[in-house]
Structure 1
Amino acid sequence: MQKRALITGLTGQDGSYLAELLLEKGYQVFGLVRRSSSGNLDRISHLSGNVQILSGDLLDQSSLMDVISESQPDEIYNLASQSYVPLSWTQPALTAEYTALGVSRLLESIRRCKKDAKFYQASSSEVFGQPDESPQTERTAFRPRNPYGVAKAYAHWMTINYRQQYNLYTCCGITYTHESPRRGTEFVFRKITSTAAMIKLGLAKELKLGNLEARRDWCYAKDAVYAMWLMLQQEKPDDYIIASGETHSVKDLVECAFNCVGLNWQDYVSVDPAFYRPDESVQLVGSIEKIKTQLDWKPQYSFEQLVELMVEHDLKKLTNTGC
């Protein structure tokens, strides 16, 4: 029998890649989209006709119940949230409504309408905040340092509580920073790859960045969504870190991106304190020992391969030879 999956956050980076993966595996895919977002379907335009769009909102539990009742999903992937950390400081209440309470509404809707559905919750490395150990594991204490991290921590523990209290199949994937050509340019990785391409083509002259020594655990979004799917194929639900297991500095990223276009980054990059984040000293890097051992998952793309992939995409996009 054909499996059915419901994805919230379908129009985002992860949602679009996950939809592609599930379609390749023969699923019938449904996507929850807010009416106000129905016009922003660029990332899934190539899937038109293959994914059934359903209107709903994480702020409205009755709409979630209607969508679950209509789609009758075997698997539900909650990828929707207010996911930009700086914005969570200017809109903390809205971030809490979508990223925290929205998960409560969704879990309760599953309990009432489709108790046998398997549920994936997109957790985040931001729940660790200022960790007391590095690398972090699934047992590392949560110490979130921004409203987004606080909201994700609430959602994480609610997911576990519904698993324990109601015996639902619910999982949390604690994802670290994951990138792709579908990432917005407000995120530093895409900002760097796209600007390097622009400079190469004579469309920009400089790139301003914050702390070049800041380090991140970066992996490819396609690798991350495969891990999400894999988690829901297990006999028993559990929580896993999804990461690369290594860190690279912003300087490493800049050097690699400019090498891809044959330029010396030092000729074009300047440091602007305005782009510094208050928690740059925090090193978030995930241990992938558990997911590697239990699910046989590890990233298929190296850091260098990811940078090259994204720079090449941006060059093609800017020269109108690709999408």
Structure 2
Amino acid sequence: MPSALITGVTGQDGSYLAEYLLQQDYQVYGLQRWNSTNNHIRIDDFIDDVNILNGDLADQSSLDRAVKEAEPDEVYNLAALSFVPESFNQPVNTGNITGLGATRVLEAVRKYKMDAKFYQASTSEIFGNAPDDTQSLDTPFQPRSPYGVSKLYAYWSTVNYREAYDMYTTNGILFNHESPRRGKNFVTRKITRGAARIAEGQQNTLELGNLDAKRDWGHAKDYIKAMHLMLQQDEPGDYIIGTGEHHTVRECAQIAFDEVGLDWNEYVEVNEKFFRPAEVDALRADISETKKKLDWEPEISFEELIREMVQVDLEEIRKDA
């Protein structure tokens, strides 16, 4: 039975990946930061099948201990401080966890399970305001947030360990991916939950930032399958994961409010406090090489994604009422 260690197992991607690997008959270990309260809500349905290990990306000894205990065949480093706006408020902490944290995981793998295959969760934010209409591995990196800068450090650390130690290390540059398990502070979930709350009479308006920002949005369920496929290849490499389409925040709001039978124009207000200090205007993935190499492409459309999120938010709100 193959085994996998997932950092950030209680997050959106970590929970979907753990669930998927269990279905593939993996022994799954999940790393979580110790907390006196239960933060397992995303993995409650299958937590008994996951071996939970306490650890922290800021603490090398805990990562060493986790790798030694799990002895994994595959390591997926998904943990990070991943909310881009907050990274401007916590730039040093973001660098320590998101950037140096990845290097600590790599170092633990190098020391205690060097033959394990390692996946680093990279992000389209490393491209920043890229000059090209679509972004590929040939696109220059120019991140525009502490989060993006930290992820770029982690990206190059992953490449460096591959080249310096002949380790199987892979970067997945994932463009925006969402789901009903997305954190409530992220813009897509803020929109779908806001539309649901307004439809249920629990909220009157929804304040958003830049409605013209364009992103390549896909479903996390599709993307975790791509992560797994990357580690099944004969040779390690780096991959772009996205849909090849981009949509504006405005379009997201239109679909979400349409799902509850409302006109978004009547409820959405723009508030400049939600604008980033350095905005990224548009991102869209070039997945042509990924399609060829991994035989992968997304199955769930942007509209299906947003409508699913609204329906789940409606169910949760009605249940809590």
TM-score of Structure 1 vs Structure 2, range by shorter chain: over 0.9
Structure 2 CA distance for partners of 1:161 and 1:115, relative to 1, 3 Å: same
Identity of aligned residues (%): 52
Match in the other structure for 1:156: 155
Whole-angstrom distance in 1 between the partners of 2:200 and 2:219? 25
Whole-angstrom distance in 2 between the partners of 1:46 and 1:37? 20
Is 1:184 the counterpart of 2:176? The answer is no
Structure 2 CA distance for partners of 1:38 and 1:318, relative to 1, 3 Å: closer
5 Å matches for 1:278-317?
Answer: 278-280=277-279, 282-317=281-316
Whole-angstrom distance in 2 between the partners of 1:253 and 1:91? 28
> What's the RMSD between the two structures over aligned residues?
1.3
Q: Aligned partner of 2:193: which letter? A: S
Structure 2 CA distance for partners of 1:46 and 1:22, relative to 1, 3 Å: same
Whole-angstrom distance in 2 between the partners of 1:37 and 1:124? 30
5 Å matches for 1:1-323?
Answer: 2-36=1-35, 39-280=38-279, 282-320=281-319
Whole-angstrom distance in 2 between the partners of 1:291 and 1:188? 27
1:44 Cα shift?
Answer: 1.1
Structure 2 CA distance for partners of 1:12 and 1:37, relative to 1, 3 Å: farther
Structure 2 CA distance for partners of 1:8 and 1:59, relative to 1, 3 Å: same
1:134 Cα shift?
Answer: 2.0
1:13 Cα shift?
Answer: 0.5
How big is each residue's C-alpha offset from its partner over 1:43-78, in whole Å with a ceiling of 9 and x where there is no partner? Answer: 111112100001112112122111111111000000
The answer on whether the counterparts of 2:128 and 2:280 sit within 8 Å (CA) in structure 1 is: no
Structure 2 CA distance for partners of 1:102 and 1:195, relative to 1, 3 Å: same
TM-score normalised by length of structure 1: 0.96
1:281 Cα shift?
Answer: 5.7
How big is each residue's C-alpha offset from its partner over 1:239-286, in whole Å with a ceiling of 9 and x where there is no partner? Answer: 001111111111111111111111111121122222222444621111
1:315 Cα shift?
Answer: 1.0
Whole-angstrom distance in 1 between the partners of 2:137 and 2:280? 21
The DSSP-based 3-state class of the residue aligned with 1:320 is helix
Structure 1 residues not aligned, in runs of 5+ = none
TM-score normalised by length of structure 2: 0.97
Structure 2 CA distance for partners of 1:38 and 1:297, relative to 1, 3 Å: farther
The DSSP-based 3-state class of the residue aligned with 1:143 is coil
Whole-angstrom distance in 2 between the partners of 1:170 and 1:10? 19
Structure 2 CA distance for partners of 1:309 and 1:37, relative to 1, 3 Å: farther
1:34 Cα shift?
Answer: 1.4
Structure 2 residues not aligned, in runs of 5+ = none
